[in-house]
Amino acid sequence: MKRSEINAIIKDAICFIDSFRFALPAFASWTPEEWRGKGRDCDEIRDNMLGWDVTDYGQGDFNSLGLALVTLRNGNRNDGRYEKPYAEKLLISRENQVCPMHFHWSKMEDIINRGGGTLMMQLYNADGDEGLADTDVTAVSDGVALTVPAGAVLELPPGASVTLTRRMYHAFWAKEGGGPVLIGEVSQCNDDNADNRFYEPVGRFPAIEEDEPPFRLLCNEYPAAK
């Protein structure tokens, strides 16, 4: 992705989040210049990858296959300094912009439509070889248990959520005609380096062409502490 595209996506995301009067933590507004002066007191942000994340999954077509998100809080199973057993994110999905089919080995999560359009969520169980099982999927939506056929697509209007258990494949996007969706994710600790199993191989973080200075650093770009 070009840095100019990432910059524009983050600026659009800030405006969209602000339209719901959702206030972001201070670190979401730190400039690259401010980051260069941050010390060890900010290690929790660095080590747990809090902050902005924009990806096209290495496919070069963000509007069709991509996601913009900001991690607000996170623990770390691999570092005893960070005891939080939970994480929270905001994600923005555009109309027909797919977050590709994947599951998590360790993380359970609630995906919540916080506002905007309708969130479309496709579900499969994983089989023994980590393929897509042709079996009914049992999930819980806002405390209500439901069973749907393999590959069924749930429509989640604003306020609705679904709980995704470990090894439950899921892909999601905003329904055409309804506009983008502000998505909340409340989960166990998040580890994007080791806990994502994509059904089809994709990249998690983009290769970046530096055609202009960064507006905000991504969560995997922070400089070491001063």
- pLDDT tens for 73-107 read 999 999 999 999 999 999 999 999 999 999 999 99
- pLDDT tens for 24-57 read 999 999 999 999 999 999 999 999 999 999 999 9
- pLDDT tens for 171-218 read 999 999 999 999 999 999 999 989 999 999 998 889 999 999 999 999
| pTM: predicted TM-score of the whole model, two decimal places | 0.96
What's the CATH superfamily of 3-198?
A: Jelly Rolls (2.60.120.10)
Spatial separation of the C-alpha atoms in residues 83 and 86, rounded to whole Å: 9
Question: Which residue from 48, 175, 183 is spatially nearest to 112, judged by alpha carbons?
Answer: 183
